[in-house]
Amino acid sequence: MTDRLPHEKGFHISWDQIHRDSRALAWRLDKQGPDSGHWRAVVAITRGGLAPAMIIARELDIRVVDTISVKSYDHQSQDAAKVLKSPQPDMMGDGKGILIIDDLVDTGKTLELVRQLYPAAHFATVYAKPQGRDMVDTFITEVSQDTWIFFPWDMALQYVEPYRGT
């Protein structure tokens, strides 16, 4: 399976699973903001953070939603992370009261870059690998470093041959 090397394992997430796990993350973040529990805004790290951020914004009734676009991977190989699009600067300040959401943290390089920009923000991901775990304030599920997480937006249902061929 060259399409998932060098990772040993694959962890396949369905739409239903990401919905449940994002709602679990919202539950954990509810009333945890710095100002009487209040969060000022949700910022999704695009593209992977968009679906979890939408679910969290809906659950916590947060209407101010923005994005930061960070690119570091080309397929499964990593380059230096760079910001391609920033959120509204007057809203962000140093990040206090802002929830910054991504689908996962792997090496932590993406979050390290965003943390430098908004040190007072709260960083949350749905999934976390050990190498990047310390970069996240709140996450739901940890997977091993040698696991590649496959998200539903990167997959499609398709026919598979039965184990016992004819």
Ligand X SMILES: O=P(O)(O)OC[C@H]1O[C@H](OP(=O)(O)OP(=O)(O)O)[C@H](O)[C@@H]1O
Q: Is 106 known as a binding-site position?
A: yes
User: Is position 148 an interface residue for ligand XAN (rule: CB under 6 A)?
Assistant: yes
* 148 Cβ contact list (under 8 Å, min separation 6): 4, 7, 9, 10, 11, 76
User: Is position 106 an interface residue for ligand XAN (rule: CB under 6 A)?
Assistant: yes
Partner from ligand XAN, Mg ion, ligand X, none binding residue 151, C-beta < 5-8 Å depending on class = ligand XAN
CB of 53 to Mg ion, least distance (A): 11
Task: Please tell me whether the peptide bond between 6 and the residue prior to it is cis, using omega within 30 degrees of 0.
Answer: yes
Q: Which is nearer to ligand XAN, 40 or 129 (CB)?
A: 129
Q: Is 108 known as a binding-site position?
A: yes
Residue whose C-alpha is closest to residue 70's, from 130, 117, 6: 117
User: Is position 48 an interface residue for Mg ion (rule: CB under 5 A)?
Assistant: yes
State the Cα–Cα distance between residues 13 and 67, nearest whole angstrom.
Answer: 23
Q: Is 107 known as a binding-site position?
A: yes
Partner from ligand XAN, ligand X, Mg ion, none binding residue 108, C-beta < 5-8 Å depending on class = ligand X
* Neighbouring C-alpha atoms within 13 Å toward the C-beta of 143: 20
Neighbours of 17 (CB within 10 A): 15
CB of 155 to ligand XAN, least distance (A): 10
Contacts (CB under 6 A) with ligand XAN, residues 58-97:
73
Contact 123, 154 (CB under 8 A): no
State the Cα–Cα distance between residues 156 and 113, nearest whole angstrom.
Answer: 32
**Annotated binding residues for GMP:** 106-110, 148-149
Binding site for ligand XAN (CB under 6 A): 73, 104, 106, 148-149, 151, 154
**Annotated binding residues:** 47-48, 102-110, 148-149
**Which positions are annotated as active-site residues?**
102-103, 106
